[in-house]
């Protein structure tokens, strides 16, 4: 989804934190906090066009760090 530039709202847990920088390329909410989840979905919807484009660009850039080939290269470096 990030690679396609789709908006992201995710729970603030390990894994998501590596992908999402809050208010830079998406929104993170505390797991179980349904009110914050709703607020973040609404915030994502209310972004003006400039901020929406900024999130999209940041998502596309960040997602490239986690392509199969990029991750494979990192694993191979670790394994030697």
Q: What is the pLDDT of residue 54?
A: 92
Chain centre distance of CA 72: 20
Asked whether 54 and 60 are in contact (CB, 8 A), the reply is no
Q: pLDDT tens-digit profile of 24-79? A: 999 999 999 999 999 999 999 999 999 999 999 999 999 988 888 888 888 998 99
**Does residue 1 surpass a pLDDT of 90?**
no
| Distance spanning both ends of the chain, measured CA to CA | 31
Q: pLDDT tens-digit profile of 6-20? A: 889 999 999 999 999
**Which 8-state DSSP code applies to residue 64?**
G
HSE (side-chain half, CA atoms, 13 Å) at 36: 12
Token pair, residue 32, equals: 């179980």
Asked whether 26 and 9 are in contact (CB, 8 A), the reply is yes
């Amino acid at each position: 989804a990030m690679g396609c530039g789709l908006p992201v709202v995710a729970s603030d847990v390990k894994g998501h934190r590596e992908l999402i920088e809050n208010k830079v390329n998406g929104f993170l909410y505390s797991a179980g906090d349904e009110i914050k989840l709703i607020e973040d979905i609404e915030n994502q919807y209310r972004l003006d066009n400039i901020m929406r484009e900024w999130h999209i660009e940041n998502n596309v850039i960040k997602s490239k760090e986690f392509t199969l080939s990029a991750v494979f290269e990192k694993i191979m470096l670790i394994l030697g």
